[in-house]
Amino acid sequence: MKNKVSKLLLPILAGLILVLAACNSESSSNEGSDSDSSSDSNDEQATAYPEQDIDGIIMWGEGGATDIIARTLAPLVEDEIGTSLVMQNKAGAAGAIATQYVYDQPADGYTLLFGAENPNLYQVLDISERSYQEDFVPVTVIANSFAGIIVKEDSPIKTIEDLVEQANANPNDMIFGTTGEGGLPSVVLAMLQNELGTEFKTVPYDGEGPVATALLGGEVDVTAVTVSAAQEYVNSGDFRMLAVVNNESISSLPDVPPITEAYPEIGKYLPWGPFQAIFAHKDTPEDIVKQLSDSVHTAVESDDFKETLANLGMEYLNINGQEAIDFVNKNRSTSAWMLFEAGETEVSPEEFDIPKVEE
């Protein structure tokens, strides 16, 4: 009898063991599936960006250095990021209109500011409350550039010394084209005024392209723009570059003298120059900023783009993260204190916690 019961129980126990094993296996499988699903979901969320086109807002008008760089770089970035960059010019108020526009958009990485150095001076010039330091994060600082002081080729002004002599002999007689308060020409004017006592009548335009057109049409006598914006005109014989605002000549225009050759006292402000960079809203998620930075870095690293920068007389940088932040901050300190010491701003940079760069 006992043997019969044992024989009857054995199949039942074996069946129970198989059922329990199957349940454990299914439970384990479900847990793994949930884990894999969660992981896949996180990966999908991390790689979802970008799901639509990205708007690239250029703070200056067509034809200037920022516009040239932005439109040359955009298709290269598109290849890396996997979506289109829709480039738009929003000129006005020394770039403040574009800067405010980007700040007002959602901080989702779909609206980027292709900008220059100008927002570094908005607060001290009372142009806008926006600043790179408080409102944006640099995606990449693409390149540094140099300012060139230019006149028409048929101008009686042949050298930088001629310009300074005539300006001092006839204060406020010559017209100097600018891009508004805080633009590159205004900083160059501050240098000249601080060290050489020059006084010009100024007329503002919406960017380097328009001011170059004004010079070409005889509306202004002289201006200062980035070498990149003037290069084509200089090479074609339309403009003469009197000096590059640097302490040495540059490879793209080796025959143009550095301003310190005639006026070494301006060397105290140098090296200084405009820059071109891409910024995102400060609240943009870090992973999106990194994805953008990586894509732009690869695009700028390309041989073709490096050649474009060299041909435009620009200095390759391609920096991001803390290095980019430090670079932008130093540029701000130099420019803000230069304008204050020239009497162009009433409020000291100290009011905005802008430190003075040690000479």
Predicted confidence at residue 88, as pLDDT, reads: 97
pLDDT at 24 over 70: no
Give Cα 322 to chain centroid, integer Å: 15
Q: Considering the domain boundaries, does residue 27 fall inside one?
A: no
Q: Considering the domain boundaries, does residue 1 fall inside one?
A: no
Q: Considering the domain boundaries, does residue 20 fall inside one?
A: no
Predicted confidence at residue 55, as pLDDT, reads: 98
Domain boundary among 236, 269, 302: 269
Q: Considering the domain boundaries, does residue 102 fall inside one?
A: yes
**Sequence-separated (6 or more) residues with CB below 8 Å from residue 260:** 246, 247, 248, 266, 267, 270
Q: What average pLDDT does this structure show over 236-264?
A: 94
Residues 170 and 243 in one domain: yes
Number of domains making up the chain: 2
* pLDDT band per the 50, 70, 90 thresholds, residue 61: confident
| Pair 140, 311: CB distance under 8 Å | no
pLDDT at 162 over 70: yes
pLDDT at 182 over 90: no
The CA distance from 152 to 241, in Å, is 9
Domain boundary among 229, 251, 269: 269
CATH number of the domain at 322, please. Answer: 3.40.190.150
Predicted confidence at residue 175, as pLDDT, reads: 98
* pLDDT band per the 50, 70, 90 thresholds, residue 207: confident
Residues 227 and 239 in one domain: yes
Predicted confidence at residue 17, as pLDDT, reads: 41
Residues 159 and 258 in one domain: yes
Residues 228 and 330 in one domain: no
Query: What confidence tens digit (pLDDT) does each residue in 309-351 have?
Result: 888 778 899 999 999 999 999 999 988 998 888 788 888 999 9
**Sequence-separated (6 or more) residues with CB below 8 Å from residue 39:** none
Q: Considering the domain boundaries, does residue 214 fall inside one?
A: yes
Q: What average pLDDT does this structure show over 55-61?
A: 94
Residues 234 and 341 in one domain: no
Q: Considering the domain boundaries, does residue 314 fall inside one?
A: yes
Query: What confidence tens digit (pLDDT) does each residue in 277-310 have?
Result: 999 999 999 999 999 999 999 999 999 899 888 8
Q: Considering the domain boundaries, does residue 65 fall inside one?
A: yes
Domain with 234 in it? 147-269
Predicted confidence at residue 43, as pLDDT, reads: 44
Tell me the pTM.
0.74
pLDDT at 28 over 60: no
pLDDT at 262 over 80: yes
Residues 298 and 151 in one domain: no
Residues 296 and 213 in one domain: no
Share of the chain above pLDDT 70, in %: 86
Share of the chain above pLDDT 90, in %: 64
Q: Considering the domain boundaries, does residue 297 fall inside one?
A: yes
Residues 174 and 252 in one domain: yes
Query: What confidence tens digit (pLDDT) does each residue in 66-101 have?
Result: 898 999 999 999 999 999 999 999 998 889 999 999
CATH number of the domain at 237, please. Answer: 3.40.190.10
Predicted confidence at residue 133, as pLDDT, reads: 96
